[in-house]
Amino acid sequence: MSDTTDGTTFDAAKYRQVLGHFPTGVTVITGMADGRPVGMAVGSFTSLSLDPPQVLFCAGHGSSTWPKIREWGRFCVNILAEDQEDICRVFASKAEDKFAEVGWRPSTLGSPLLTDVLAHIDCEIDDVVASGDHDIVIGGVRHLDVRHEGGPLVFFRGGYGRFTV
Ligand SMILES: Cc1cc2nc3c(=O)[nH]c(=O)nc-3n(C[C@H](O)[C@H](O)[C@H](O)COP(=O)(O)O)c2cc1C
């Protein structure tokens, strides 16, 4: 249990446990900083608007990568395939060079497009809305494509799995 600002207590472990029952895909959100690629694993990615085309993700205030992407002003959403769990773990870490073992090339907007991802969405940051301990990052979609027709990496109840029909 943790204290909240209104004096009540809140069970953070229960919050995580209950919200962990909502399955998500996994993306790596990338950008550039001082000529070097940066990126972070993100499960909060979703579509937002068709007209104009927009997507969003939520970036934690504790992330060291997010301020760099914000400064870059753009981001590339890399949707991970079911065999890319290792990549997810690297990009969820605070490793010094997350790109050491990962292939990539610049997207049209110059953000890192990772090798063998299912799809990518190349965005410019349209808006950032702070709420609680996260920023809601709204991206205007500039370019997007499906890269191969495989299954997605799925995150559910704190573990990784695959999608089967
Ligand atoms: C499956 C999964 C989903 C995640 N989703 C998010 C997310 O939506 N937003 C976020 O800020 N961090 C998320 N994280 C945590 C970040 O990847 C991690 O805190 C961050 O990359 C730490 O490194 P940094 O300091 O380089 O940003 C997620 C981690 C995992 C494993």
For 128, residues 6+ apart whose C-beta sits below 8 A from its C-beta are 70, 135, 136, 137, 138
Question: How much distance in Å is there from the Cα of 65 to the middle of ligand 1?
Answer: 9
Pull the structure tokens for residue 4: 């909240």
37 bridge partner residues: 32
Mean predicted confidence (pLDDT) in 57-85: 98
Instruction: Select the CATH number that applies to the domain covering 29-144 from these four: 1.10.10.10, 2.50.20.20, 3.30.365.10, 2.30.110.10.
Output: 2.30.110.10
Q: Is 30 in the pocket of ligand 1 (CB under 6 A)?
A: no
As a whole number of angstroms, the distance between CA 64 and CA 154 comes to 24
**How confident is residue 107, by pLDDT bands cut at 50, 70 and 90?**
very high
Q: What are the tens digits of pLDDT across the range 134-143?
A: 999 999 999 9
Q: Is 113 in the pocket of ligand 1 (CB under 6 A)?
A: no
The model's pTM is 0.95
As a whole number of angstroms, the distance between CA 76 and CA 117 comes to 12
